[in-house]
Every structure is written in C-alpha cells, then in structure tokens.
Structure 1
Amino acid sequence: MTLPDLIIATGPVTQLAQDMLSDFGDLVELSDHREGVPSELIPRMRAIVLRGGSTLDRELINAADRLEVIGRSGVGTDGVDLEAASANRIPVVITPNAGVSAVAEGTFTMFLSITKRIRELDVAVRDGFWSQRDRLSLGDLEGATLGIVGLGRIGRRVASIGSAFGMNVSAFDPYMEERATGKLGIRHCNLTELFETADFISLHAPLTPKTKDMVDAELLSRCKPGAILVNLARGGLIDSYESIHTALDSGQLAGVGLDVFESEPPDTSHPIFRDSRVLFSPHALGLTNRARERIFQDMAAGMVDVLSGRRPTSIANPEIYEEASE
C-alpha cells in the first residue's frame, strides 16, 4: 500500500492555507523546527512550508525525491539552499507583497515606542511617579532624518510613512540609482553617510553574503550621537550584540529595536537582553492578523499552482521556468 503524500510545515499555518493544500497531501506540522524534518517523513514529502528560522539544506533537498515545491512565509530565502532547489527544479514560492504594510508599521511602532519613552512612561503611571512627565526627555519624528538601508517594497513604504510624519528621508541601496531615489523624494547616500546623519535608522536589506554583518562596531561608531536603530529585516545584518551594546554605552545609539535575530529564538544570556534601552519583539511585528492571512493565502496559492502544473506568480528562482522554455 502506497502511503499518502505529505505537506510538511515547520510551524503553524492558517486554516485557509491548510484547506487550500489539503487536496495534495496530508499536513504534518512539526512541533520544533530546530530538530529538522524527521528522516522517516522525507520520502513522502511532496511540499514543505518553511516558517521563521527553519532551514532546508542541500542534503535534505537532494534526499526528498517527491518534493515538488517549497513555500517560504515571507520574501527572504535565507535558510533555503536556493542553488540546490534550482538544481532539482523545485520552485521556491515567496510572498513579497503580503507583509509590506505590517512590517513598515512595525518599524514605526518601534521608533515611536523608543523615542516617546512609552515603556518608562507606562511604568511611571503604574508606580505613582507622575513627576516623570517633566523628567524624561521625549523625541520627535517631525523634522528628524530617517535613514533607510534597503529600498525594496518595505523600505519604500517606510519612506512614505516617514515623509507623512514630516521626516527628511535618506536611503542607501546599491541597486537603486540616485536619480531613481530622487524621484521618490529620497536623498541617496552611501552607508557611512547614512549612519553619520540619520536620527532614526531602519534596516530593510535582504540577508546575502554581501550584507551579512554589514552593521558592525566600526559603522555604529560613526552614528550621529543619540540615533535610534531598528531592525525588522534579518538578524544577520548586525554583526553582534556586543557592537550594539558598545554603541549604546558610548551614546552613539540612544535606543535600539530588534524584531529579528541571527538565531531564533535568541540566546538571551547577553547583557543586552537586560538593557532597558533595547526594545525586543519575537519576529512578530510583521504578523498582524491581516498580514498573516495574506502571507499564508498567497503562499498556499503559489504552492497549489506548482502542484497543479502551473507557474506561480512569485518565486525566488524563476530561472527554472525560463530554462525549461528554452
């Protein structure tokens, strides 16, 4: 008797996505993605949904003879051996549009919470320290300089929101010409200049060999004193917690917001996790109710296209279709 195909998910997926994929195999949700796909399930794996910090390496891809499609909940493909997937002609479905507004809004949630000292003010009221209203220094977005690293869909949305707040927007993106950023009302600058001049810095670059550890101790030492740094992109863009801690202690950074970490969940033994100047979120600010539904709906729709013999709308390795048509 032939066992049914499996749709492996390395974390929870929405009911709608489950329903959309149900015709193509039995869904199996892994309880802990860090342990990987159990070896006994690999021969039956027809599709896999990768959540969060899950990885899919060359060895697993090559061993999964029945694997037809990989679904990534988001736009990044770090954690997926894209070369191995392409070599095996397996499409990697992504959802580049679904979480744009949620992540952009999350960026300003961090900025506003830090510069307006929301956490401290809340504690002051609860503990009866009303006089803190005259003692805490609060910042403004209007008139401040917003520096954006990476002008993709999310970066451009952040720029638009920043402009609406009355911020002066500058950006670094090696793949966009100065003329193009100028049309968006954004001042183009190099990475060092951005860190030297921005009051608020937001990271929105993809994680690649070129961008890994791009924000290091040297770059942070060039920050405009009192800057606020927020990262909702990928944890690996920042080289270490120590670099952040040093910049905070020196006064180059006044506050930091981290929604992403190089290893997820992170090792919280570093002193930065006890530093009140740092605001944390468990890679959750892009997962609003609306964004979550759309991410999984778009991803499941793309996977259904592949499993039904159609080309999906958004994949990370479109060359596999272009090569087939030659």
Structure 2
Amino acid sequence: MAKIKVVVTDWEFEDLRFEESVLNAFQEIELVGANCRTEDEVIEACRDADGILNQYAPLSKRVIESLRNCKVIARYGVGVNTIDLEAASEKGICVANVPDYCMDEVSDHALALLLSWTRKVVVANQHVKAGHWDFKITRPIHRLRDKTLGLVGFGKIPQSLAEKVKPLGMHVIAADPFFPAEEARRKGVTLVSLGTLAEQSDIISVHAPLTPSTKGMLGKEQFARMKKSPLIINTARGPVIDEAALIEALNNGQVSGAALDVTEVEPIGENHPFLKMENVILTPHVAWYSEEAEAEMRVKVASGVADVLIHKEYPKYLVNHDVKNIARLGNGVGSGRY
C-alpha cells in the first residue's frame, strides 16, 4: 500500500525532530523534507503530497491548483499569508495554523520594545559603550503612567499585552471591528475606530493579521491624525504598515519613533532608510521565538496534519471554515480525486 506523503516545503530549524516525533508514530506516513523557495519548486515537491507543512514558501493559487492529492496544509505560526486560502477552500483543502503558541513571547517582545524605546535603553547603552556617562543624552523621557496605549487588533496577543501594561498605569484602547465592545470593556479596554486610536494614542502597537483588507492600514491618513507623535510598535506583519508613509511620518515628526520586529520585505535591505534612523529600533522577526514556543508550534503543526490524514477530523486550528462539508478527510491514498 502506498504511503501517505507529507512534505515540509521549507524550514529554518536545525532538524525536523518535533515533526518526526508526531508523524513517524504512524507507520503509514512518509515525511519528506524539501527546500523550496519558488512556486515551481513547491509544485515539484508537493504535486503528489497528501499533506503539507509550510513556513515561508509560496502556496499560491497556481501551486494549489497543481496539487493532486492534498487534503491539508498546516502553516508554522499564526499568519497564513503564504497560502491562497480561497484557492485552498475551492480545492477542498483544510488550512491550519497555530494561533496560540507564542502569546506570551510576542506580547513580552512588544512590551520590551515599548520599554526599551520609552526609557531610551538602546541610546543609553550605545552612549555608555562609546565611553560617555551623561544621563542627559536620553532627554526627553516621560513617565508611562497615564499614557494611552492603542492596540491595532484585539486578539489573544494584544489582550495579553493589555494585561501586562496595566501595572504600569497605562490606559488601553483598541481598534478591532470584529471584537465585541462589551467583552472589551470587561477586560478594561475601550474599543474605538482606527482614526480615533490614531488621535488619542501615545503609543500604538500593531497586532492585525496581514490580509488584503489590512495591508497598508496604517498609512498617510492615519499618520496625519496622530496628534501626540506616538511611538509605533509592530510585532505582527510588516506590510500592515505603509512603510513609505511611516518613513515620511518619522521624518516630519508625526511619529516620534518606531520599534519594529517586522518589515515590509524580510530580511531588510542593506540600504533601507530604517537602518540609519536614530528613532527606529529593529529586531529580526524574533518576537515569536522562545525554545518552548518553537517546540509547541512544530508539534501542533504536525498534529494538525495528523488530525486530517489519520484521525479523519478537521484540524483543531482550522483557518478556512468554509471548507467544511467539502474537504476530504482521511488519507484517501490513490483515490485521485484531483
């Protein structure tokens, strides 16, 4: 009997031991590691795959239409912007992610960026290491108590960040058209429009997923409404912010600074203006990472594939719910539906 083929399109990990620990428990599964970067490479590696684990390799409509046997695609992480969800649903392919593996890590990192920038930690560190000792290099620093933090998106990660800043005495508002206002109030957060958030926030932290409707959602219009020259923090996805508009806002004072874990293009280009801007802090898309979070993510991604192919269930973290009643659960080896 033919094996159930599961392909890992690409990965940045040292090995696939966590994926193997889950999937090699099923003798009928063959786990195949690929090293795909382009659509053509993904098509070649995954054409006959029953399941796919995906990190950054593109799973476009063209790629998905080439898949003959695929029943499930599981993405490492929260975002699924590498995958054409509509094409997957039309093909009857379940798409899964891991929305809960790094809530503490990302909210901790956003808080670390907030504190590092407002307390001028990076500036002070560079100053002392250059042989100086003068606190005035950090001027001005303002206390955080009674300042307003605006959260763009109010999912699990920004909810965690909201709890973490409360002991600092900060007020928290959020812009999220899909979150119930009454539930936000119970959490001590006021829901507002994106425009109101831009006007009222001293610090803005971006947590919206990247979708066609959120791409560039923080742009010229929003920066023009920022009366307090806020700090902008982004630990979500770079393209949620119009980068050219942000650079202009940083230069003209509409925004006082930026602390970014993500950029529009990654890795950041060697001539990017951010690299020379003293009011910008950059980290290399590391907010998600801890040893524990990485292990949890990889186990859950592999388990999502096993849910569909072995247990004949929808994955716990199904993203495209419109695929229900269309998807083919189970291995279906050799059925040739596509």
Q: TM-score, normalised by structure 1?
A: 0.90
Unaligned runs of 5+ in 2: 329-338
Q: Which residue of 2 aligns with 1:12?
A: 12
Q: CA deviation at 1:263?
A: 2.5
Q: Which residue, out of 31, 39, 48, partners 1:26? A: 31
How far apart are the structure 1 equivalents of 2:39 and 2:63?
13
How far apart are the structure 2 equivalents of 1:271 and 1:324?
46
> In the superposition, relative to structure 1, how do residues 33 and 164 fare at CA in structure 2: closer, same or farther (>3 Å)?
farther
Q: Which residue of 1 aligns with 2:331?
A: none
Q: Which residue of 2 aligns with 1:295?
A: 297
Deviations 1:24-60 (A, max 9, x none): 2232141x63566354323343322221x43201111
Q: Which residue of 2 aligns with 1:250?
A: 252
Q: Which residue of 2 aligns with 1:96?
A: 99
- Give 1:310's aligned amino acid: E
Q: CA deviation at 1:252?
A: 2.1
> In the superposition, relative to structure 1, how do residues 205 and 119 fare at CA in structure 2: closer, same or farther (>3 Å)?
same
> In the superposition, relative to structure 1, how do residues 324 and 128 fare at CA in structure 2: closer, same or farther (>3 Å)?
closer
Q: Which residue of 2 aligns with 1:210?
A: 213
Q: Which residue, out of 213, 237, 242, partners 2:240? A: 237
How far apart are the structure 2 equivalents of 1:303 and 1:4?
11
How far apart are the structure 2 equivalents of 1:39 and 1:121?
50
1:66 aligns with 2:76: no
Deviations 1:248-278 (A, max 9, x none): 1222222101112233223342322221211
Q: CA deviation at 1:68?
A: 2.4
Q: Which residue, out of 46, 53, 64, partners 1:49? A: 53
Deviations 1:173-204 (A, max 9, x none): 11124323212111221111111111110111
Q: CA deviation at 1:21?
A: 2.4
Q: Which residue of 2 aligns with 1:161?
A: 164
How far apart are the structure 2 equivalents of 1:40 and 1:237?
32
The 3-state SS of whatever aligns with 2:256 is: strand
Q: CA deviation at 1:5?
A: 2.9
How far apart are the structure 2 equivalents of 1:211 and 1:120?
32
> In the superposition, relative to structure 1, how do residues 196 and 36 fare at CA in structure 2: closer, same or farther (>3 Å)?
farther
Tell me the matched-pair count: 321
Backbone CA RMSD of aligned residues: 2.3
The 3-state SS of whatever aligns with 1:41 is: helix
Which of 63-72 and 21-30 deviates more? Answer: 21-30
Alpha carbons 1:145, 1:200 under 8 Å: kept: yes
Aligned-residue identity in percent: 29
How far apart are the structure 2 equivalents of 1:314 and 1:61?
20
How far apart are the structure 2 equivalents of 1:94 and 1:38?
19
Q: Which residue of 2 aligns with 1:135?
A: 137
How far apart are the structure 2 equivalents of 1:323 and 1:29?
28
How far apart are the structure 2 equivalents of 1:34 and 1:281?
26
- Give 1:112's aligned amino acid: L
Q: Which residue of 1 aligns with 2:272?
A: 270
How far apart are the structure 2 equivalents of 1:144 and 1:233?
22
Q: TM-score, normalised by structure 2?
A: 0.87
Q: Which residue of 1 aligns with 2:283?
A: 281
How far apart are the structure 1 equivalents of 2:240 and 2:61?
23
Q: CA deviation at 1:171?
A: 0.9
> In the superposition, relative to structure 1, how do residues 182 and 47 fare at CA in structure 2: closer, same or farther (>3 Å)?
same
Matches within 5 A, 1:312-323: 312-323=315-326
